[in-house]
Structure 1
Amino acid sequence: MPEQLVFAMEVTLNGLMAGVLYALVALGFVLIYKASGIFNYAQGVLALFAAMTLVGIMQGQVPFSHLINAVFGGHVTHFGWNVPGVVAIALTVAVMVLLAWLVQVLVMKHLVGQEPIILFMATIGLAYFLEGVADLMWGSEIKTLDVGLPQGINLWIDETTFNIFGYGFFIDNLDIVATVIAALLVAGLVAFSQYTKQGRAMRAVADDHQAALSVGISLNFIWVLVWSVAGFVALVAGIVWGTKSGVQFSLSLIALKALPVLMLGGFTSIPGAIVGGLIIGVGEKLFEFAVGPLVGGATENWFAYVLALLFLVFRPQGLFGEKIIERV
């Protein structure tokens, strides 16, 4: 019995850490939906694009090298230098801001006032377009990302230094770092939203576009800002996920894992994204631990979506979302 209890505790802890990773992706969805009402299907691809761009800059890779070599018959792939992680991150942030501006000017600016389904379809097109651009720019190989985040078993919390009832468990350093990063990111986003002029303008636009326009708030600037912040959040998620499992095109699918998180926490709540992520992370791990052996395993693949379906039926606004009543 004690062994099962300790194993359940380890499973719960691992679930919390997994939930933090889910929440990092969900935050980008919340930011864009809260400010513009757009469900950004491309958020997962933004994380992929940011991570691939970061790796490419760090390794000194020539963008579009495959295309350049095919057209001009060369064999150039790298500039011949490496860029330090901090500098590469700063350059990648600049790339994501430029991308946000391009998305707003070339796509979203022309869809203002359209039905939500039109905006959603636009983000689907954007997702596949960015995925193709990322492949063309940096190639499709699986890449290793190392920006100096600690990895491996934590020396203070492993089976030899920490035990309960004589049984030990360990936690990965990267999971601890991801938790700290998520906490700082949420605190920063909340502070930005509450205490800065731009943050208050974002909230005003989220509440009423027309009223915000009437008091002189530039919708174009705010939406570029929102997409830029969402791009930064995608970069953070891409760094953590890419460090953990490598930068590969399956990284874009983490957006699908964020959907249940949003349904639980609410599409307009930043703290809700964190709480929803933790519930999903812990829930799927414990369900796999308790019920998985009885049904043949693999419950992690569908548990989160079943839980989200129950929330859609009984509490569609989520735990922290706003209940919207439309009068006709």
Structure 2
Amino acid sequence: MQFFIEVLLGGLLSGVMYSFVALGFVLIYKASGVFNFAQGAMVFAAALTFVGFQEMGLPFPAALLAAFAVMVVLGIVTERVVLRPLVNQPPITLFMATIGLTYVIEGLAQGVWGANVRGLELGIEDVPVQWLMDSTGIGVSTFDLFGAGVAALLVTLLALFFQYTRIGRALRAVADDHQAALSIGIPLQTIWRIVWAVAGFVALVAGLIWGARNGVSFSLTFTALKALPVLILGGFTSIPGAIVGGLIIGSTEKLAEVYLGEYVGGGIDSWFPYVMALAFLLVRPEGLFGEKHIDRV
């Protein structure tokens, strides 16, 4: 039982970090109706940019601020160059544009900073929490706890921002109905720039956490895409859905790896979440918290 709890807790903590990556997808989809396939590339580029600034000699706070500025600029430029010219185009056109943007961001980041694998240190060791180990015998990683805590804090702050600030209310109005928002004077282009800038910030924090855990390499792009099953389970337009979906995916992924891995071979954690998502699509395509889409004829 103790081992089961350890595995479950580790999966839940990883799930919170998956949720944070998924939040970047949700923000852009809610505000503009665009599924940003390039979010994974943004996570990779953010981590690589931060490490690159550190290699230039910048201290941690300065490198963080510089990387944040780069990601905000990237988000704003993306909105101006990619999204705005394609307004009112079919969704598949916008989706294909973000696929092309993925390769542009990946190539640009590696062209500027190089393609070598780097380490990223946040000063948090990946060791069991000693007091928890001493009192309960349950081993929980200090780094996983730190990463989940950071993700939970920022998700909470973003949720409060959307709920109680003027800009947040404008963002929710745009998400509900673009035309109605325009009719009451909400500037769509400004809102989209803000959303893409926030998505860049989310990508930076996710890149730092996952980069410190797994190293800064091209594989970060695929780690970020683990958020896709999270979105399918939680719903593409729901922040609470991103959280719940992340917890479900994180926990089941770890449990499957431990208890089913010996029967189906290694690497189950890389594909099991997608199998879960596929099965879930057959039962509830809109996700746990997504809105049902009804076409009236």
- The secondary structure found in structure 2 opposite 1:157 is helix
Matched, 1:185 2:160: no
Of 183, 186, 192, the residue aligned with 1:223 is: 192
- Measure the CA separation in 2 of the matches of 1:250 and 1:288: 19
Tell me if 1:109 matches 2:105: no
2:36 and 2:98 in contact (8 A); partners too? yes
Out of 53, 64, 71, the residue aligned to residue 89 of structure 1 is 64
1:15 aligns with 2:19: no
Alignment partner of 2:254 out of 278, 285, 301: 285
Give runs of ≥4 in structure 1 deviating > 6 Å.
Answer: none
1:195 maps to 164
Which residue identity does 1:273 align to in structure 2? A
The answer (yes or no) to whether the contact 2:75–2:200 under 8 Å persists in 1 is yes
Cα separation, 2, equivalents of 1:302 and 1:137: 32
**Which residue in the other structure is 1:130 paired with?**
105
Distance 2:205 2:188 in 1: 26
Q: Once the two structures are superposed, what CA deviation does each residue of 1:234-284 show, in whole Å capped at 9, x if it has no partner? A: 111000000111111110112321111001111111111111111011112
What amino acid is the match of 1:311? F
CA distance in 2, matches of 1:138, 1:187: 33
Q: Give the C-alpha shift of residue 24 in structure 1.
A: 1.6
Match of 2:208 in 1: 239
Taking the aligned partners of 1:95 and 1:250, their CA distance within structure 2 comes to 21
Name 1:275's counterpart in structure 2.
Answer: 244
Residue in 1 aligned with 2:55? Answer: 59
Aligned to 2:131, what secondary structure does the other structure show? coil
List alignment gaps of at least 5 residues for structure 1: 61-81
1:118 aligned residue:
93
Corresponding residue SS for 1:83: coil
Distance across 1 between alignment mates of 2:219 and 2:263: 29
Contiguous gaps of at least 5 residues in structure 2: none
Distance in 2 between residues matched to 1:143 and 1:296, nearest whole Å = 29
Deviation of residue 150 (structure 1)?
Answer: 4.6
Give me the whole-angstrom Cα distance separating, in 2, the residues matched to 1:93 and 1:148. Answer: 19
Q: Identify the residue that residue 39 of structure 1 maps to in structure 2.
A: 35
Asked whether the equivalents of residues 41 and 123 of structure 1 are also in contact (C-alpha less than 8 Å), the reply is: yes
1:304 and 2:279 equivalent? no
* Alignment correspondent of 1:142: 117
Per the TM alignment, residue 297 of structure 1 is displaced from its structure 2 partner at its CA by: 4.3
The whole-number CA distance in structure 1 between the counterparts of 2:63 and 2:259 is 44
Q: Which amino acid aligns with 2:81?
A: L
Tell me the CA shift for residue 111 of structure 1: 0.3
Q: Distance in 2 between matches of 1:303 and 1:174?
A: 24
Amino-acid identity (%): 56
Paired positions, count: 297
- Within 2, Cα distance between the matches of 1:270 and 1:313? 22
Q: TM-score, normalised by structure 2?
A: 0.96
Equivalent residues of 1:50, 1:234 under 8 A apart: yes
2:132 and 2:138 in contact (8 A); partners too: yes
Q: Residues of 1 paired with 2:212 and 2:266: CA distance? A: 27
8 Å Cα contact 1:35/1:203 also seen in 2: yes
Which moved further from structure 2: 201-210 or 117-126? 201-210
Partner of 2:129: 154
The alpha carbon displacement at 1:156 in A equals 1.6
- For 1:218 and 1:150, locate their aligned partners in 2 and report how far apart those are by CA, in whole Å: 45
1:249 partner SS: coil
AA matched with 1:101: I
Shift of 1:176: 0.7
Question: How far apart in 2 are the matches of 1:46 and 1:170?
Answer: 33
Structure with bigger gyration radius = 1
RMSD: 1.4
Give the secondary structure class of the aligned counterpart of 2:247: helix
